[in-house]
């Protein structure tokens, strides 16, 4: 199990690369290249505008959850940190390292890394619950779509094997989680950590003063993501009605949370290809749409570059450290020194 845990980061990258390789083997490179060439100025501007809205909604959701857990978080800082996280998620292989960074950074600033991490996990969980609910609604309203996607898989044995590998990897991730919890419990820390996590879950996500706002902001953000996918479909040349596009696009969004991707690429393109083919919109059209969407999400995260350039580590000490420093200056030199402390 220890060997599997160490190999897991590389395994998920290999699976993501394998999915993309299977798509290239089945449809060729033209669908990828066409998707890259189809990005235009209008779609870029739309991506920046929609990205601003979805980022503000997500950052607002983060603020609600963090404040319920007793952490301070202003909306301006939350938006900046979220943009930086989106950029890092898009350009780094694992697809989640940006969220890890903002969670740890905020936790260090507030003097409680564990609670900072739980705030981000709960915030993202709230968003995923809404995506899962919409995905379930799509499957219930279009039960034939999943059956048609299965038939699309059958001719391509490689794609079927890779899909099975994705599901198997998700199962392995679950086993690793269970194993980690059991190991912590044996060490005498699991019970306390579990109790603290459940308490934060009740306060940060399930409280009556929290979940309505989380649900509404998650739904608004999801509408934005679907709208950006529609923009991508139009840029890729699809003239299908929006009502016909929404089900396959929603399924593509649904699998983006699987931890087997390379900067978000992999499962999204595979499911978009299958879902478009099953819906009669063309498998190649689905792949091109997913590629355009991937490029547009990167464009939407580009304000994070400015955040990275403007945020220089070490120029702004964390609040707990700054507060301790001020208390020491006040004790040693009196109140006059406090006025010049932030400038030194």
- Per-residue pLDDT tens listing for the chain (344 residues): 556 556 666 666 677 677 777 777 776 777 677 777 888 999 999 999 999 999 999 999 999 999 999 999 999 999 999 999 999 988 876 667 889 999 999 999 999 998 999 999 999 999 989 988 988 888 788 777 777 776 666 554 444 444 444 445 444 444 444 444 455 445 444 445 555 667 778 887 888 888 999 999 999 999 999 999 999 999 998 999 998 998 888 888 888 877 676 767 788 888 888 889 888 888 888 888 999 998 999 999 999 999 988 875 544 444 444 344 434 434 443 433 333 333 33
Per-residue DSSP letter, 202: I
Give the number of residues written for the chain.
344
Note whether 282 and 259 are same-domain residues. yes
Give, in degrees to the nearest 5, the angle at Cα 160 between 154 and 163.
140
Q: If you ran DSSP here, which 8-state letter would residue 266 be given?
A: S
Residue 19 shares a structural domain with residue 148: yes
Q: What is the pLDDT of residue 318?
A: 42
Alpha-carbon torsion (132, 137, 138, 140), positive or negative: positive
Asked whether residue 152 falls in the same domain as residue 122, the answer is yes
pLDDT at residue 109 in the model: 92
Domain count, the chain: 2
Per-residue pLDDT at 317: 40
Q: Does 198 share its domain with 327?
A: no
Measure the CA–CA gap between 239 and 277, rounded to whole angstroms.
15
For 110, other C-beta atoms within 10 Å of its C-beta total 20
Calculate ∠ Cα 49-232-128, nearest 5°. Answer: 75
Residue 6 included in any domain: no
Enclosing domain of residue 205: 12-163+192-311
In-domain check, residue 29: yes
The answer to whether residues 250 and 279 belong to one domain is: yes
Q: What is the pLDDT of residue 144?
A: 77
Query: What pTM value is reported for the model?
Result: 0.74
pLDDT of amino acid 182:
52
pLDDT at position 68 is: 92
pLDDT score for 266:
80
């Amino acid at each position: 199990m220890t060997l599997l845990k160490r190999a897991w980061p590389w395994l998920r990258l290999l699976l993501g690369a394998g999915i993309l390789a299977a798509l290239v083997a089945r449809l060729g490179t033209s669908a990828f290249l066409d998707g890259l060439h189809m990005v235009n100025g209008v779609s870029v501007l739309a991506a920046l505008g929609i990205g601003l809205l979805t980022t503000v909604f997500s950052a607002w959701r983060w603020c609600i959850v963090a404040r319920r857990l007793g952490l301070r978080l202003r909306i301006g800082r939350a938006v900046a940190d979220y943009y930086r996280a989106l950029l890092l998620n898009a350009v780094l292989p694992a697809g989640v390292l940006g969220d890890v960074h903002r969670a740890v950074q905020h936790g260090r600033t507030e003097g409680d890394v564990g609670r900072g991490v739980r705030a981000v996990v709960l915030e993202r969980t709230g968003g995923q619950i809404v995506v899962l609910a919409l995905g379930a609604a799509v499957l219930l309203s279009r039960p034939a779509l999943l059956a048609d996607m299965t038939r699309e898989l059958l001719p391509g044995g490689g794609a079927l094997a890779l899909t099975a590998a994705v599901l198997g990897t998700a199962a392995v991730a679950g086993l690793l989680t269970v194993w980690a919890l059991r190991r912590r419990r044996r060490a005498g820390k699991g019970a306390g950590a579990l109790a603290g996590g459940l308490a934060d879950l009740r306060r940060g996500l399930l409280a009556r003063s929290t979940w309505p706002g989380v649900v509404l902001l998650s739904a608004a953000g999801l509408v934005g993501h679907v709208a950006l996918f529609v923009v991508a479909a139009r840029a890729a040349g699809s003239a299908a009605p929006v009502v016909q596009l929404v089900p396959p696009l929603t399924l593509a969004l649904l699998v983006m949370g699987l931890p087997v991707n390379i900067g978000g690429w992999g499962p999204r393109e595979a499911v978009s290809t299958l879902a478009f083919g099953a819906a009669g919109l063309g498998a190649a059209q689905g792949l091109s749409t997913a590629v355009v969407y991937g490029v547009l999400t990167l464009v939407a995260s580009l304000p994070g570059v400015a955040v990275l350039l403007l945020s220089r580590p070490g120029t702004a000490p964390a609040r707990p450290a700054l507060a301790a420093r001020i208390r020491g200056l006040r004790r040693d030199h009196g109140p006059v020194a406090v006025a010049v402390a932030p400038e030194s």
